[in-house]
Amino acid sequence: MGFLTSGQHSNARFERLLTGRKRDDLSEYVPTFQAKRYPYSKRYGPVNKADSIFKLFQSPLNEPQEEVIVVIDPDNWLINDISRWVEQVTPGHALGEAAWFHGSESVTNLWHEVCLRNCDWPLDLVGVPYLVHRRDLQKIAPWFRKYIMIMKEKEEQDPDFERKYSDIQMGWGTEMFGYIFAAAHVGIKHEVVWGIQLRDVSERPESKERENSIAMIHMGRAWFPPDYELGKQWWHTEGKSWSHFGAQVWCKCNWTASDIIPWPMPDNVDFQSKHTLYLLHESRMYFGEIPKQTEFRQTGPSGYHVSMS
């Protein structure tokens, strides 16, 4: 829904990369490239991200033809046009949002421990969105998966390996380091950009000009002002550490996140919450409710819906 409502340039298109045994029901109206899951993904799911990008370029019928590719995660939601960043991408020069671990020496130390080539390359500590030339991403893709597997194998062989890098949350963040290391391996420079996107728990924009400059949000939670009486029915007991933003009423961490969408919103809701709940609500209005009790989504033992694909 974010793509449809964010005013992207007329020649832009989007595609969902799906890992599963076959195409799902959402593929009927969402452009989708489907690839079978990478075997190791049963132990570390995020490797599927690197694997699906690699397989996309290996598919003659599906290989991207656009000059610039923007790689985002499912929780990166577009709210404004990203053309001004896309236009800065050239072969050998990509862009990426500054990662939460930007400035960490631990990532460089990790790189020196696993690198296979270009070990003295100054790392660009970026996270999604990655804005990269098509041919550069094609070079990065196989090494993206390769470096993830190198690190995971080290984790399994040496119990101290992950603990040594606990400050950068190695366990779940391996795929982020895999991309950075792959780019270094093939010599693709990423310009570090601050402010393409805004995290749900980041500071709130201080002006309308700042709001208009943000292309996407990294969504996760939403809050209502505590004095909004209608919102009290959705208050959460979880997420107290973020109570300075208000009363939490929605979280992607909840089993019911796709079913319970707080609405209507008060006028004074914060920027991130406003866009998160707006896109959730408009998606429901436009696409309808997510089909349940299908071969792809069934009710699990807990009584909540689980994905079967």
Domain-by-domain residue ranges, the chain?
Answer: 2-193, 219-287
**CA–CA distance from 147 to each of 17, 38, 44, 184, 258 (Å)?**
20, 14, 13, 11, 34
Q: What pLDDT shows up at residue 171?
A: 85
pLDDT in tens, the chain (309 residues): 999 999 998 789 999 999 999 999 989 889 999 999 999 999 999 999 999 999 999 999 999 999 999 999 999 999 999 999 999 999 999 999 999 999 999 999 999 999 999 999 999 999 999 999 999 999 999 999 999 999 999 999 998 999 999 999 988 899 999 999 999 999 999 999 999 999 999 999 999 999 999 999 999 999 999 999 999 999 999 999 999 999 999 999 998 898 899 999 999 999 999 999 999 999 999 988 888 788 887 765 554 445 544
What is the residue type of 124? Answer: D
Q: What pLDDT shows up at residue 9?
A: 86
For the chain, report the end-to-end CA distance as a whole number of angstroms.
22
**CA–CA distance from 104 to each of 175, 266, 298 (Å)?**
16, 40, 42
Q: What pLDDT shows up at residue 309?
A: 45
Q: What pLDDT shows up at residue 299?
A: 64
Q: What pLDDT shows up at residue 165?
A: 95
